[in-house]
Structure 1
Amino acid sequence: MKDSVSSAAILGGGNIGLAIANGLHNSNIFDVSKITITRRHVEQLNEYKEKGFNITSDNKLAVKNSEVIILAVQPRQLNDLLIEIKPELNPEKHLLVSVVSGASIKAIKKLVGDEIKVIRAMPNTAIAIRESMTCLAANSKTDKALEIAERIFSSVGKTIIIDEELMIPATALGACGIAFFMRAIRAASQGGIEIGFHSEEALFIAAQTAKGAATLLLDKKNHPETEVDKVTTPRGCTISGLNQMEHNGFSSALIKGIVTSAEKAAVLYKTE
């Protein structure tokens, strides 16, 4: 296949599919007129039609007019979709990028043919604002198709190439993780309300503080406890609060949540 691509189809205009569309729209890696979004009820995509996207319920037509095909349907819908578009797939033209939880490259190729290039990607909904953490996997880490996928997803956030066996854990930590951190920020804001802030003020302070904490780790590349040590003093208020959270199972609950999500992700897709 070519080293560069100019058109894309997002098959499945649900939450993650539309988040990807927004991210690609903002990244300028594709001309928006070269991006097609499909959904059964196209009237729900009027906002995207107004932005300049091509909108259709015809998956075959979308594939025919595109080079990168992003599979963004629910796991239970994937097999039927692959069977539907298989006649339109051209190994010299198309690259399939699956964001479907639990569906292996082998399982996808079994339905579309070994000659079709397939990459697995696991972004999160922050892709809409070009702040996704996207994990990528391929049969080979030197795969040209992987380079193309990396260029695309690097334009909408950060990427990391991992072994395919880690894609289900990546779903729990990176994709589900958005919700976990949102819940932590919400809890922090509720604590802020209880100690005197109005709800809008509390949420703003909590969200910006979380953003600052994450940025410190990413920029300085320190371990979290290195930064924790900088704000904990003997008999201080920070360590008192941290210890109370740990007594109530804060870290344990988060770890258990991630493990449970990974276990659930492992059984979402069925090959038959």
Structure 2
Amino acid sequence: MDISPHKKRIATSIGLAILPALALFFQGWVLFTVLSLFSVLTLWEFYSMFRPVQSMTAFKSLGAAFTFLLLGAFTTGKVQYPAVVLLIAFWAAGFVFLVRYNKDVTASYRHAAIFLAGLIYIPLNFHFFLTMSPWGIILVILAAAASDTAAFYSGSLWGKKKIWPRVSPKKSWAGSIGGLTVCMGAVTAYGMTFGLAEVAWWKWLLLGALLNIAAQFGDFFESALKRTLDIKDSGVILPGHGGLLDRVDSLLLAAPTFGIISLFHPFFK
């Protein structure tokens, strides 16, 4: 039976929601395991975007190992542990580069830089989920989903004037404003229902705006990255969606945005 791309997109979105729902229900090591595995798969996909893939093989394996180490270091509550892991990752990449340079003086440091950028881009940003309450995690996912869904439909209906056609030809001002409006409304409704009573409504509106802007820029960043690499999707693992990175690009900036804001202003117990 033939399934339309739109129906595939909806079915995949529902399927993707099951894992975080289970992780939120069990918390603890379940959340850590799900987040770690998801980070490894997304990071592996990120490295695979840089051709030729064979030249990234050693760094892909290192990246998987350091993802678990980095996320595990954050669970200790010791600030210096994640810094030590990143420092070791830097010198591990340097060692691989030295070995390659010893064999071939034309060897480039490019792949070592990609390896380090991947660790910062994915597990380092994702670690903020480990610092959030279940209510905070749901809020961030809700904000990203509301932004993406509203932007898709409002852009499809009314989108004519494009924002950054060179970066993302399909994204329009109508889609952007629609996503912003719905995200602000969704975050405010959710926050006023489940958040701290002392948080004023206008603060939820402002938070919704900031999360939407972060989600949009996260999306734009990945779009520009794919264009520089001349690829359409980051992968093919998700029917109707493309790759994992195509689905979580907005979360990769929305999560640290909420995590950092929450350091200065709590929104949930």
Give the structure with the larger strand fraction. Answer: 1
TM-score by length of 2: 0.26
Q: Which has the higher contact order (CA 8 A, sep 6+)?
A: 2
Give the structure with the larger helix fraction. Answer: 2
> Highest Rg: 1 or 2?
1
TM-score by length of 1: 0.25
